[in-house]
A = this chain, B = another copy of it.
Amino acid sequence: MDMNDLVIISVDDHISEPPDLFDRHLSGDLLASAPKLRQTAKGTDFWEYQGLKFPSVGLNAVVGRPPEEYGMEPNSLQQLRAGVYDVHARIGDMDVNGIAASLNFGSVFDFAGGRLSKAPDRQLAIRHLQAYNDWHIDEWCGAYPGRFIPCAILPCWDMDATIAEMKRVSAKGCHAISINENPTVIGLPSIHNAYWKPFFKTVNHLDMTICLHIGGGNPAPHASMETPIEAWISTMPMTIAVGAADWLQLDALQEYPSLRIALSEGSIGWVPYFMERADFSNARHKAWTNSRFPGTMKPSDTFKRHFLNCFIDDAFGLQNIQHIGEDNIAYECDYPHSDTLWPEVPEYLWPTVKHLTREQIDKVTHKNAMRWFRFDPFEHHDRKDLTVGALRAKAKAAGVDISPKSSGGARPLSEGDNRPVTSGDILEMFSRHDRVA
């Protein structure tokens, strides 16, 4: 086996939605009242909905730029690679990067639809959320069968509507759902509250996979406004540990032994320590905490039974695969965000997995993704057509252009300022971006 034989499924990528998002999924009043993509006089895109304004462009969607411009925040779709919003261009970008299939999170309503809960008319928001899922499942994922893992968002503020939407998308073949890693952040009860019981029951009944993506739930802390931004970038993935520890205590995990939870963008190298520490804390404290791990089951056993950990570039974690569990690891690309190694994913990935057995390589590159997400690209494609080598040959024939493109956007510092960019600079830039929207 060599690099070109890899079959790579990415379980975490992103879309910034195109302007015609709702056009083929609604009509009449519902289409008229659907979110609309607008642009300010300064050229900044935003979505307008029920009097609210949401930033259009997924923060940090910088794929394909020269590295000097990674910190420049895109303002409009025109400043992005077309693959970010156009599914046909996306397939080209996947091919050139050797990615066989991909799970995509949306941007406009955040990764888990939370922004829709702010709409004044929440009943109407449910209709638009359904149309959004139809676009995602039928139009985006449906355009290239076997190349996308559909992932729906839910109207979590209304549990009956949530259950109904889960049933609806499940019947359409969507088996993944994205919810906020910490619902208390958007004003909902915690995952330990009885409010969520029907949700977990339905996840189990419909055999769905819960995706928890960093960023919208538990905060990713940064020490101070003067802290250089690299510090914040470096600790961001690992902050999912707070959510992972929270979910690890969920009663539903003991009630439903098949429940599956994917931690998106959390990385893996810290996971062996996390499990060891969870076991230590349980062993030292269970005499007074009334914790719910039954019998001889340790937190680490529960973690391995229920959690999929995802990595972008994690050599140390992959050297310790036996401590994480070869069935608990999947690759993610994070296209088009700044961590993505597009278009060189195979070149980075291969050296970090080539010491593994063939079966382990297959598991972390695609078999775990297939099993955890109930997804089978080989129903639609021969395996040999989804390898890195085959996809890249196809991209070459199609002439996919990967040369870096300067593309504009907001700068965190004024021209010529060469002090380190800080957390405060980035927050100020983001807040200008939000104010314009």
Contacts and interface: CB of A to CB of B under 8 A. Distances in A.
Interface residues of A, number: 81
Nearest to A182: B223
Q: How many copies does the complex hold?
A: 2
Given A292-B420, A316-B276, A421-B288, A223 B231 contact: no
Interface in A259-318: 267-270, 272-274, 276-278, 280-282, 284-292, 299, 313-317
Contact of A224 (B69, B184, B221, B282): B184
A338 interface: yes
B221 A242 contact: yes
A289 B426 CA distance: 11
A71 B277 contact: no
A8 to B, nearest CB: 19
Interface string A207-240: 0000000000111011111111111111101110
Interface string A98-136: 000000000000000000000000000000000000000
The 10 A-B pairs with the shortest beta carbon distances in the complex, nearest first, are: A269-B273, A223-B246, A190-B224, A71-B288, A67-B287, A231-B245, A228-B249, A234-B281, A190-B226, A270-B270
23 contacts: A70-B285, A192-B422, A218-B223, A221-B221, A222-B242, A223-B242, A223-B243, A230-B299, A231-B245, A233-B285, A234-B278, A234-B282, A235-B242, A235-B245, A239-B242, A267-B277, A269-B276, A270-B270, A272-B316, A288-B421, A290-B413, A290-B421, A292-B420
